[in-house]
Structure 1
Amino acid sequence: MKKQTHFSRMKILLLLIFVPAILLAQETITGKVVIEGSGVGASFINVVEDGTSNGTATDIDGNFTLSVSSLPVNIKVFALGFAEKVVSVSSTDAITITIAESSEALDEVVVTGLATSVKRSNAANAVASVSAEELAGLTPPQTLDGALAGKFAGALITKSSGAPGGGIAVKLRGVTSINGNSQPLYIVDGVYVNNSSIAAAGLNAVSGAAGGGNASNQDNPSNRIADINPDDIESLEILKGASAAAIYGARAAAGVIIITTKKGKRGKTKISFSQDVGFNTILRARGQRNFTAATAEALGAGNGALFTAAQNNGTLVDFEDEIYGEKGFISNTSVNISGGSENTLFYAAFSNNEEDGIVKNTGYDRKSIRFNLDHDFFDKKAKLSLTTNYINSEGDRGFFNNDNTGTTIGVALSSTPPWAQLSPDANGNYPDNPFGSSNPLQTRDLITNRENVNRFIVGSSLDVKLYENDNSNLKLVLRGGVDYYELLTTAIFPEILQFQKPSNGGLNGLVATGTTENKDANYSAFLVHNYTTSNDLSFTTQAGLTKQTFSRNTIRNTTSDLIASQTNLDQGANVSVTQFRQEQEDQGFFVQEELNYQDKIIGTLGIRGDKSNNNGDANELFYYPKASAAVNLHSFDFWNIDAVNQFKIRAAYGEAGNFAPNGALFTAYTNSLIDGNVGIVVPATLGDPDITPERQKEFEVGFDASFLESRISLEFSYYNKTVDDLILQANTEPSSGFGTRFANAGNLENRGVEIALNATIVEKEDFNWSSNLIFFTNESEITKLDVAPFNLGGFGAGLGTFRIEEGKSATQIVGNDANGNLVELGDSAPDFQMTWSNNISFKDFTLSFLWHWKQGGDNINLTNLLTDFGGTSPDYDDFDVDPAGATSNGPFRIGAFRAGNATPFVEDASYLRLREIGLYYNLPSKLREQVFGKYVSNLKIGFSGNNLINVFDYNSYDPEVSNFGSNGLSTGVEVTPFPSSKRYLFHLAVDF
């Protein structure tokens, strides 16, 4: 049920307005307004005699009485969150009016300032909105950021791990930084929410993933936005570009996602319960090589005989199915209670989400408790809002991705043939794997890689009306919020593992723990003044101050050479400790003026100023201006195109920033211990004390149009976004003692088009069909580079890597070709993306689905190479990679690697995917009352699924993959990942 509003604000005003009409009335209409589908009485809904000021509002049960001068008459029923309805009344018999909830009505208001909003019809920016129904109503998402895929234009959303719990990389309108943050800023009920991805302690000590090639984080942790329960969310607004996000200044270069959680509704207390159960399976298996005795023998002498014996004995094992073939159980339980009186609204919710992975001993459990309170006081001159959320989560993520020791499950699996005997004996003892450095079944069953999170997110706001008269008012807005979490990571590798045994060169067991304490706080104070002239020219002025503090302390402890089977950190011979601390404080101000002339011409001017101790000069203010204008041509008298009931043109410009990455400002020395003497070691990279934030500038133009009484709507936007002062690592003179230095040394540009088409195809009493089509593109270019071109985010030119080069795409993939020349082999950015969603209702049934087409975009697929080396690639013996058709795929790729030719490893990552589908049945009110009486106001059952149909030629588990986590440029690199999954869910939802 969406937010409802009163027709009038004060009982005295109601009497002053309606008493004259009542005195003249001759007829009395009585009735009830109910909500479509549930039959529940809709409280505080406006009921007005159409074309007049004669009206009333429904009571707490939805009943109303309205006096009119004569019959017949048209009655208009409306409230925010519901579709407006007009009914004809010709008698005084009691009537029932059914109204439908409307996400479009809810979305009419979008953010324009830190303390103001505007009707969507007047907005000058392309601000995307996602309602609660669109986000989680079709099928419950595993994580919030994953639920955004395909829901709006301008986003490239990529999984960095298929493990339950995330993570996800979200990029809005292209790449915004090379070394800095590229994920959007998340604001939840006014609270700046941390979305870090912090690697588990100790994994690299075992895998050695950063020991060669790219030293970036390859442990694929979840990102912390996964903690937010999607079911708590009422709506999201996505500020995709600087022209909209400038109000958030130096943290908004990558865009802003503003989240509003659910609040109470005036009326009877409502209790809702929902239960989802289901399972997940691997999205697509790679399959096995079709071995024969001869091909098995080619792997090594004696393997042919082993293969034949296992084949005859029926002991061949599909190890891919053995590892990834689980059906992970899913259970989502949610209970919420909401309600409110004239002055106080409350919403309380508890949820428990449990999802096992497609690999044994992996999964994600999240418990969330939320309480939101709104209270009006001083005769509604002041409003206090409080939002609180506690989250406890636990994720077991397995041991996957790249490694240089052959120990991760995926890498070990790549060289394990189906005749290997790896299962434990009757006493639970696992044999060593003669085909690899580890037994993947033993690793799966005995290691621990766990994340535990305890998190509190608390926000509050106080709105006080300081002054109010007929044409102006002044309001004070105070806001504050704290996001605090403790992240505990635990890695345990027992000494009995094959690769931990000292006889195999192991560490004799390893235990590692990491503790991260993170606290972010934000405070702001604003004055908002509204003034309207006699000719309906309105001014909205706001000005205010902001402050944000960010604190992180991460301590990692690693112990190896354990005593017996101990797992305490003090029960080992070799102990190491590392610590990372970061403190940041930002301060700023924001001033904005909004003008609106009769909803015909709307303009905005604003500026944000920020300073931070993360800049070279902590007291220097950096300014981020914004300006926008929109013209509703259809509101002018000259507009006479009946078929086009809305046509708005708009233009906007804005600037936003991105702080320097950690380590760019100062040169951080490290310690050394040589022959018992303590010293310091100079790092390879020199900091820059004069570093400044990266600056994004964006210009956007577009139009919005509606046709055939808003049955069809069209949105079009074109943007050009530049990022100046890119923070890069430049080569420096060797005599300085450093190899590289941080510097503001480049610019890049993004250009794109976004188109959204919405249509109400059929609108009848028992049958409705609405459809939404979204198309968008983005192209990037490095327009200036003050340093030499450089490679990053891969494993070198012989395997494919990203390259930053002036005049080229910021996401180009390069590598050596067959002739040894460094050439462009692809680009990780897609040519375009398109989504098509549909909602079809027939009587009490609803069918909804979302297709997502990503055309173009390339990955560096190194899983194939590893399985080639192991002789297990499913296509090893096929002949469709060698252009000459002379060499089979496996030997061709191995030969290319040895020759330094990266061409075979860059693959097209296009796909067509049925992201979501759901079929639901609402129990009719008559049948519901017969079975449950009047205690149950709504009962819904259904089925839904994620990723049930996937069409792609990409030669692995899923084109959505990233070995290097959820940040930075280097998404789209694959090295034996945790595979993605399909999800099947059955649903029950009951309202009391």
Structure 2
Amino acid sequence: MKKQTHFSRMKILLLLIFTPVMLIAQETITGKVVVESSGEGAPFVNVVENGTDNGTATDIDGNFSINVNALPVRLRVFALGFAEQMVDVATAGAISIQIKESSEALEEVVVTGLATSVKRSNAANAVASVSAEDLAGLTPPQTLDGALAGKFAGALITRSSGAPGGGISVKLRGVTSVNGNAQPLYIVDGIYVNNNSISAAGLNAVSGAAAGGNASNQDNPSNRIADINPDDIESVEVLKGASAAAIYGARAAAGVIIITTKRGKQGKTKVSFSQDIGFNTIINFRGQRQYTEQRVFDFFFSPNADPILDQRSRDAANDQVALFRAASNSGRLVDYEDEIYGEQGLISNTSVNVSGGSENTQFYAAFSNNEEDGIVKNTGYDRKSIRLNINHQFLDDRAKLSLSSNYIDSKADRGFFNNDNTGTTIGVALTSTLPWAQLQPDATGAYPDNPFGSSNPLQTRDLITNREDVNRFIVGGTLDVKLYENEKSNLKLVLGGGVDYYELITTSIFPKRLQFQKPSNGGLNGVSALGTTENKDANYSAFLVHNYTTSNDLNFRTQAGITKQTFFRNTVGNIASDLIAFETNLDQGANVSVSQFKQKQEDQGFFVQEELNYQDKIIGTIGIRGDKSSNNGDANELFYYPKASAAVNLHNFDFWKVGFMNQFKVRGAYGEAGNFAPNGAVFTTYTSSLIDGIAGIVLPIFPLSLGDSDISPERQKELEVGFDASFLQSRVNLEFSYYNKTVDDLILQANVEPSSGFTTKFSNAGDLQNQGFEVSVNADVFTGDDFEWNTGALFFTNRSEVTRLDVDPFNLGAFGTGLGTFRIEEGESVTQIVGNDSNGNLVVLGDAEPDFQMTFTNNLRYKDFTLSFLWHWKQGGDNINLTNLLTDFGGTSPDYDDIDLDPAGVTPNGPFRVGAFRSGNATPFTEDASYLRLREVGLYYTLPTKFLDQVFKGNVSNFKVGFSGNNLINIFDYNSYDPEVSNFGGNGLSTGVEVTPFPSAKRYLFHVKVDF
């Protein structure tokens, strides 16, 4: 004991003697670490004397000071998200160190569980990722779902309406349901986000589009994912099939799109401002028929065996010839297509965001105002969005709270388009409106009636109202708490929850002075419709995640937890007709009808998963999701959705000696996911009745469908295999995936005995299959100080087949075999289009599924200039084009007088199509919908940092100006406005049916962005 005490005293004495000498010998290095791209100070960067544990960290402004024993010395500078720097310092004093942001240093992670993620290099699934720059950095999109087109493999994205405010169909790896939901599930910051398209505007009361027992939605409302501001998004991950989406169980058969919004970073507060200004124009005009006096006469003259009727027809035809001659000679022929669709809609996008924070608390706040007029007067979209995201760490960094909040106020004026059975929509009215018609209002503002149609399209455009108003709150949070941690293992608790609440108000007003509203013309004497929808979705989850690592670096990660989701919707539609004077209030109509749709659902489930990782060489996952729902016949029955996957990084093994290939990973995954029965499938729906003053309930007239309480959810099963490879030090990257996806227990409507009182019954009566492959290639062609060139390509294809059908083949969607329709038939494609030929036989006319899709991207930088563009090629895939037929009836088709459809080369196209329709021949109405389009292009210039410092004295860190465009070049042979179209909205099989749509637009934008 005395020896130990003596030795301790000696150490203290030696320390006191030599410490001043050591201090005298030390050198002090001060300086600042800055980010190369912005010139800003980099906070919390480690600066360490190489080979020692002597180090420090930069302060919030990037400044540091470090003492070293002697000079020269080598400093190691590193931080998460930046490439490590080695800096040689020869003399004491102040220095400046630049560090580069590095995607390799901050490797992308992808979702593999409800509470875990994995490095992309270890992922066993082809999870597509779209960054903020790819999503909105090149060309600011109008809506989020529209921005995804062409950005990843495996998706067929179709715009169902060109009206501002959205209306998009997204199908991942083929059709996944015939009658059920076919749109992916959207998750934003862990919140289940509603994407309904709710038709509550009451337009059918005027258009009669769903008359004759057709209950399908043809109003083309916007879908609610359009409310999300793309500029708020940090990244998007797409789980394209059940092999990856099984973690979301019963709601994931159509795939899952996971959205992460931007968060603040520790450091000084940053302010960013951007302003876009531009305009839009129609992509393509159909054009006008080239009239002559003889063509006008021939169109209006109908020879008749009765001489009196024959003479009346001849006189009427001569009257039209005289009107045409007078208008032509006086220059009063009007291109009404250009008059309606020839507007240049103003676009203005303003965005301001503020972000920053301390080591413990970070924030991101943003405000945006997006306004876009349509290519038709009195149409447009206005969205205001406020977002506040907060991260906070506490309990000595053992707990982290992440909060997300978003408020959206949007308005969309969508006009009056698409199919109708009354000739009143703007598009249908245009098909018969001839250029010598005089439809402009007089000095008093009174519009003349259209002599060639049921409505005056200019009057309809100027006087009707069709508006959607949305007020929406999306709020959620996640709490991570480290319950236990030691050298080999740790345990954390992850709690999450969120609410998506919105109120949708639809307003439709058709004044009584409209041509088609006049009682003398068979109208309703004015219509006012008001629809209100209250929608509230909530989700909750609790998970435990345990990590354990063995001595030979085998890591086990276990997660287990429970989930709950509640969904509520209440839609009330009110329609008033026979309005008093110019009143539009519902109580000012003589006839008022009310309808209500209410839906309430509660889902509960659990999820368990085990992940194994052996030294990043072999990675395996196995898990299972169990779900029960009030939407099932037995609300307490659990349905199970398993998953399993494996990935092998061959390049991490010692035997790998392929020098030019620095990464090669083989992977395989299997998973199952579900799809709930559509509304009305589980239970029989009744409607109210009033007979002799006695109220009661009866079966609806249409559809007479019997529900089945024993019906099972549709089940998707997917096997995916593939590989990822990188060459030349990751300058060239290749990804290949093949998938086989089956959907069992398809919910179909089977015919039943009429004596039952019903015509059809819902049942699990079929299976279908999708197979396809996806290839992506990306290459850094050239990398230098002044010039960089990156290029990439995607290629993907899908084939579907109905593999089991327990009911007779049946047709659905579109308008029957005389015009072309879809047919569900065993052994055939689920998207096949059939119709009668000239002999009256039912034949296959085409297929809505593309042969393949391909995109080609390039990003080039020369000094401070950047040029980026994206080409999208869709080859094959057919549409049912009925706009041509309607213009044929009206004698306005641009190709009316061409002769290229009649095999005999005799009958012009217009009469040929009309004749085909009257004989029940659907052959001329199916067209190839291939296209090649320049989806996005952008040219930007970033002002040099030195110039900014001189002019703005360090107050501006980045200043960028530029130009961009959407759909500027469009190449297709399709005989209409745009092959990307759908009369029946975004869901179901009916994508690609055209009936006088709101045309799509190209957009031109100029940009200014300033970072402070």
TM beyond 0.5 = yes
1:839 CA displacement: 1.0
- State the alpha-carbon separation in 2 of the partners of residues 600 and 932 from structure 1: 51
Judging changes above 3 Å, is the alpha-carbon distance between structure 1 residues 686 and 497 closer, same or farther for their aligned structure 2 residues?
Answer: same
Distance in 1, Cα, partners of 2:645 & 2:52 = 36
For 2:858 and 2:56, how far apart are their aligned partners in 1? 36
- 1:378 & 1:198 partners in 2: Cα distance? 45
Equivalent of 2:376 in 349, 359, 367: 359
Residues 134-533 of structure 1 mapped to structure 2, 5 A cutoff: 134-212=134-212, 214-300=214-300, 301=317, 302-533=319-550
Aligned-partner residue type, residue 89 of structure 1: D
Deviation at 1:95?
4.6
Secondary structure at the residue paired with 1:210? Answer: coil
Partner of 2:982: 962
Cα distance in 2 for residues equivalent to 1:77 and 1:881 = 72
Structure 1 residues 46 and 435, CA gap change in structure 2 (3 angstroms): farther
Structure 1 unaligned spans of 5+: 1-18
Counterpart among 643, 646, 656 of residue 626 in structure 1: 643
1:29-40 to structure 2, matched below 5 A, reads 30-40=30-40
Match of residue 9 from structure 1: none
Please tell me the residue identity of whatever aligns with 1:714. L
For residues 808-860 of structure 1, give each alpha carbon's deviation from its aligned partner in whole angstroms, at most 9, with x where no partner exists. Answer: 11111111111111111111110111111111111111111111111110000
Q: Which amino acid aligns with 1:842?
A: Y
Seen in structure 2, the aligned counterparts of structure 1 residues 291 and 77 have a Cα distance that, compared at 3 Å, is farther
Please report how far the alpha carbon of residue 25 of structure 1 lies from its aligned counterpart in structure 2 after TM superposition: 11
> Structure 2 length as normaliser, TM-score?
0.94
Residue 782 of structure 1 pairs with residue 799 of structure 2: no
Equivalent residue, structure 1, for 2:719: 699
Question: Cα offset for 1:674?
Answer: 3.2
SS at match of 1:865: helix
Please give the per-residue CA displacement for 1:240-277, whole angstroms capped at 9, x wherever unaligned: 11011010000000111111111111000011111100
Q: Measure, in 1, the Cα distance between the counterparts of 2:346 and 2:417.
A: 21
2:768 match: 748
Structure 1 position 385, deviation (Å): 1.1
**1:884–1:382 distance in 2 versus 1, CA, 3 Å:** same
Does the alignment pair 1:770 with 2:787? no
**Pick aligned residue for 1:803 from 815, 819, 823:** 823
Following TM superposition, by how much is the alpha carbon of 1:681 offset from its aligned partner in structure 2, in angstroms?
A: 2.1
8 Å contact 1:128–1:152 — kept in the other structure?
Answer: yes
Task: Tell me the equivalent position of 1:4.
Answer: none
Taking the aligned partners of 1:186 and 1:239, their CA distance within structure 2 comes to 10
Structure 2 distance, partners of 1:564, 1:665, is 46
> Does residue 750 of structure 2 align to residue 730 of structure 1?
yes
User: Counterpart of 1:146 in 2: which secondary structure?
Assistant: helix
On the 8 A contact 2:115/2:559 being kept in 1, the answer is yes
Task: Say yes or no: does 1:940 pair with 2:960.
Answer: yes
For residues 779 and 149 of structure 1, do their structure 2 counterparts lie closer, same or farther at Cα, with a shift above 3 Å needed? Answer: same
Contact 2:571 2:597 in 1 (8 A): yes
Equivalent-residue separation in structure 1 for 2:749 and 2:107 (angstroms): 43
Q: Which moved more, 1:35-44 or 1:385-394?
A: 35-44
Measured after TM superposition, the shift of residue 398 of structure 1 is 0.1
Residue pairs, 1:593-992, within 5 angstroms = 593-683=610-700, 684-992=704-1012
Task: Name the CA shift for 1:51/1:717 in 2 (closer, same or farther; >3 Å).
Answer: farther
Counterpart CA distance in 1 for 2:153 and 2:878 is 20
Residues 35 and 41 of structure 1 are in contact (CA less than 8 Å); yes or no, is this contact kept in structure 2? yes
Equivalent residue letter for 2:62: G
Q: Which amino acid aligns with 2:255?
A: G
Does the Cα contact within 8 Å between 2:566 and 2:603 map onto a contact in 1? yes
**Is residue 71–residue 89 contact of structure 1 (8 Å, CA) maintained in 2?**
no
Distance 1:736 1:74, change over 3 A: farther
Cα-Cα RMSD: 1.8
- Conserved 8 A contact 1:297-1:305: no
Q: Alpha-carbon deviation of 1:883?
A: 2.6
The 2-side partners of 1:506 and 1:332 are apart by 41
Distance change in 2, residues 1:268/1:904 (3 Å): same
Does the 8 Å CA contact 2:139/2:937 hold for their aligned counterparts?
A: yes
Shift of 1:214: 4.3
In structure 2, give the amino acid aligned to 1:472: S
Change in CA separation of 1:75 and 1:946 when aligned onto 2, cut-off 3 Å: farther
Equivalent residues of 1:77, 1:85 under 8 A apart: yes
Larger mean Cα displacement after TM superposition, 176-185 or 207-216: 207-216
AA partner of residue 114 (structure 1): L
Deviations 1:184-232 (A, max 9, x none): 0000011000000001321000000011484310000000000000000
Partner Cα distance (1:68, 1:172) in 2? 58
Task: Verify the 8 A CA contact 1:75 1:89 in the aligned structure 2.
Answer: yes
State the shift of 1:420 in Å: 0.6
Task: Specify whether residues 128 and 52 from structure 1 end up closer, same or farther in structure 2 by C-alpha distance, changes over 3 A only.
Answer: farther
Distance in 2 separating the partners of 1:192 and 1:36: 39
Contact residue 835 and residue 845 of structure 2 kept, 8 A: yes
Question: Residues 649 and 420 (structure 1 numbering): CA distance in 2 closer, same or farther, change over 3 Å?
Answer: same
Q: Is contact 2:511-2:526 (8 Å) kept? A: yes
Task: Name the residue aligned to 2:572.
Answer: 555
Summarize the Cα distance change of 1:898–1:96 in structure 2 as closer, same or farther, 3 Å threshold: farther
Amino acid at match of 2:168: I
Q: Do structure 1's residue 43 and structure 2's residue 43 form an aligned pair?
A: yes
Post-superposition Cα deviations, 1:757-800, rounded to whole Å, max 9, x if no partner, equal: 01001110111111111111111110001111111111000111
**Which amino acid in 2 is paired with 1:982?**
K
- Residue type at the aligned position of 2:490: N
Would you say the 8 A contact 2:201–2:466 is kept in 1?
A: no
Distance (Å, rounded) in 1 between the aligned partners of 2:599 and 2:551: 54
Select the structure of larger CA radius of gyration. Answer: 2
Does the CA-based 8 Å contact 1:72-1:88 persist in structure 2?
no
CA distance in structure 2 between the aligned counterparts of 1:767 and 1:26, rounded to whole angstroms = 43
Task: Read off the aligned partner of 2:696 and give its amino acid letter.
Answer: G
Q: Deviations over 1:425-454 (max 9, x none)?
A: 000000000000000000000000000000
Q: TM-score normalised to the size of structure 1?
A: 0.96
Q: Would the alpha carbon gap of residues 311 and 479 (structure 1) be closer, same or farther in structure 2, given more than 3 Å must change?
A: same
Closer, same or farther in 2 for the Cα pair 1:467/1:741, shift >3 Å? same
**Shift of the alpha carbon at 1:305?**
1.2
Alpha-carbon offset, residue 960 of structure 1: 0.5
Distance 2:429 2:709 in 1: 46
SS of 2:587's equivalent?
coil
Contact 1:214 1:794 in 2 (8 A): no
Letter in 2 for 1:680: I
| CA deviation profile, 1:279-331 (whole Å, cap 9, x unmatched) | 00001111111111111222321221111111111111110010000000000
Structure 2 CA distance for aligned equivalents of residues 50 and 148 of structure 1: 46
Match of 1:14 in 2: none
CA contact 2:392–2:401 (8 Å) conserved in 1: yes
Is the 8 Å Cα contact of residues 491 and 545 (structure 2) preserved in structure 1?
Answer: yes
Deviation for aligned residue 1:69? 7.5
Letter in 2 for 1:529: H
DSSP-derived class of the 2:917 partner: helix
Q: Distance in 2 between matches of 1:402 and 1:25?
A: 88
Partners of 1:24 and 1:69 within 8 A in 2? no
CA distance 1:575–1:381, change in 2 (3 Å): same
